[in-house]
Structure formats: C-alpha cells, structure tokens
Amino acid sequence: DHLMDISHVIRGDDHISNTPRQLALYRALAWEPPAFAHLSTILGSDRTRLSKRHGATSLENFRELGILPEALRNYLVLLGWSSADGKTEILSPQDLIAQFSLDRITKSPAVFDLDKLKWMNRHYMKESPLRRLAELSVPILKGAGYLREPVSPATLAWVERVIDSVLKNLDHLSQLPPAARPIFEYGATSVVQGDETRHVVEDSGSREVLKGFIPKVLAADHLDYQRFREMAKKVQSETGKKGKDLFHPIRVAITGAVSGPELEKLIPIFEEGAKLSLPRPIKNTAERLREFARAAGLA
C-alpha cells in the first residue's frame, strides 16, 4: 500500500482487529500510515452474514438475473451509507461523487434486501432506452429458445416492442421470457382446456362474440390495430356486447391468457413477429384464431 501511495484503506469491519498490527508495521518502517475506515457487515434477510445460501451474491449472478449495472451500483452504495439528505435513494454517479463522505458511513450492519434491489432495478429499466434493454435481453431470450444468433436489426427492433409491451411488469430482465411467453408460444388446445381460460371459452356470450369476430379477421387480407378495432366495433353493434364482455373473450382467444399487455401493442407484435425467422415461429392473429376456432368448435 505504501509503495502504491494508497491514501485510504476502506474494508469490512471484520478487519478491525488487524489494524493495530498493521499500524505497528508502518511505525516500525517509519512510514506514514494511510487512513483506515471500516464498513459495516452486510447481512442477509435472516440477519446472518451474507453468503451464497442467500441467493445471488456475485456480479455474474446479478448479470444473469438481468440487474442493470447502474441499479446494482446505486443499491450497493446505500448499504452502510446514506445520501446527504438521508432520504434520496436514486443517485447518479455525479450525485455520488458530489455527496460521498466517510462521515455518513453507518456503524450498524446493513441488510441486503433483494426486493429493494429489484425495485431500484425496475426504476432504471424504465429510464433505460429500449434498444439497450433489447440488446441486454438477447442472451436471456436465446437461453429460453426464443432467439438465435445472429440477431437481425429487424428482430432487435421487434424485441424492443416486445419489451415495451411487458416492461411495467418486470423487476429484472430474466423475467422477460415468462412475461412474454404468450407472444412466443400459443396452443389453442391449452386455451380451450386451461383452468383459467376454459370458463371464458365455454361462456355463451363469449362464444357469440367470437363467432362474429373470428370470420372477420380470417377474411382480412392484412391486419393492424386500427382494422382490429373496426372489426371489434362491428361485432359490438351486431351482438350488443361492449367493454370487458367484448374484449375479454377476444383477448383469451388470441393470447391464451386472461390478462396481459394491451392488445393495441400485441396485435402489431404478432403481425410483425410472424414475418421474422425465429427458432419458435410467431403465429399471427389470424393463425391463432384459426387454430382456436377449430379447438373450440367454432370453425
């Protein structure tokens, strides 16, 4: 440390007991000692020393989880330290440089709260450009079998739209594959027989809506959200159904789920995704409804 002109030695408080011996060595060598500072121990949620049994503890673990670097940096600096006002939690590198002082290091142990880290990561994901999130998501989607290398510019732009459709439900990027599963995977049989969707498919009002809606989509030469809305309005006038009674059965038939991203975002995603070369081909809206009609006995 002396030969490298180290001015401050900042380390965990488990090294406090070593400090007197090291100071004695500096005095024996007639060297000016650095300033020593000791940080409080980081504990897991069970108040024991943080270790692998508490989950992700390495940078690689957090990278695989889909935690953004800026979120991890911001969170770690608040373990055992507080901002100037003691309240602000979202801090840029410039904020940290301006505010950091050893005077605000806390003596009590810090507890590593993964939920708090996820909250902070959600904030930074919403602030991040979609293109960056798409690029970071490529290995995650590849691992799920949804993408393959090389990823074309068109595919990457499409992934941006996929992320945008589910972003508000994500705490970290490794949640993207399950959140986007209704986009990448569709099976009409599971929709018709599923515990959450079967009652919608069997409902007489839902079937009336779908009998009017499906033929209109199948007869169209192309589909975008504007045409989708026009078709839905025609079904509304024909059946008298509106609101949830109109759009809920349509959502279930198209996505296989009772809830999810806005159809305004999903319809273009289905149509554009069907044109891409992906390991698991995306079914467009008409393909989904054709398959559903056969499985539900509406063909």
Instruction: Report the CATH number that the domain containing residue 204 is assigned in CATH.
Output: 1.10.10.350
Which of 65, 94, 128 is at the close of a domain? 128
Residue 51 has pLDDT above 80, yes or no: no
Q: Any idea what the CATH number is for the domain that residue 140 is in?
A: 1.10.8.70
Is residue 244, in this structure, part of any structural domain at all? yes
Tell me whether residue 100 is in a domain: yes
204 with 290, same domain? yes
pLDDT tens digits for 126-184?
A: 999 999 999 999 999 999 999 999 999 999 999 999 999 999 999 999 999 999 999 99
Distance CA(97)–CA(99), nearest Å, equals 6
Write out the residue range of the structural domain in which residue 14 sits: 1-39
What is 247-282 written as a DSSP string?
HHHHHHHHHSSSS-S-HHHHHHHHHHHTTS--SSPP
Report the predicted TM-score, pTM, of the whole model to 2 decimal places. Answer: 0.87
CATH number of the domain where residue 59 is located:
1.10.1160.10
The verdict on residue 287 lying in a domain is yes
Same domain, 241 and 171: no
Query: Within this chain, do residues 133 and 121 fall inside the same structural domain, yes or no?
Result: no
Q: How far apart are CA 210 and CA 299, in angstroms?
A: 10
Q: 195 with 241, same domain?
A: yes
Same domain for 174 and 153?
Answer: yes
Query: And the tokens for 249?
Result: 């059965």
The answer as to whether 269 is a domain residue is yes
User: Does the pLDDT at position 42 exceed 70?
Assistant: yes
Domain count, the chain: 4
Q: How much is the average pLDDT of 60-84? A: 93
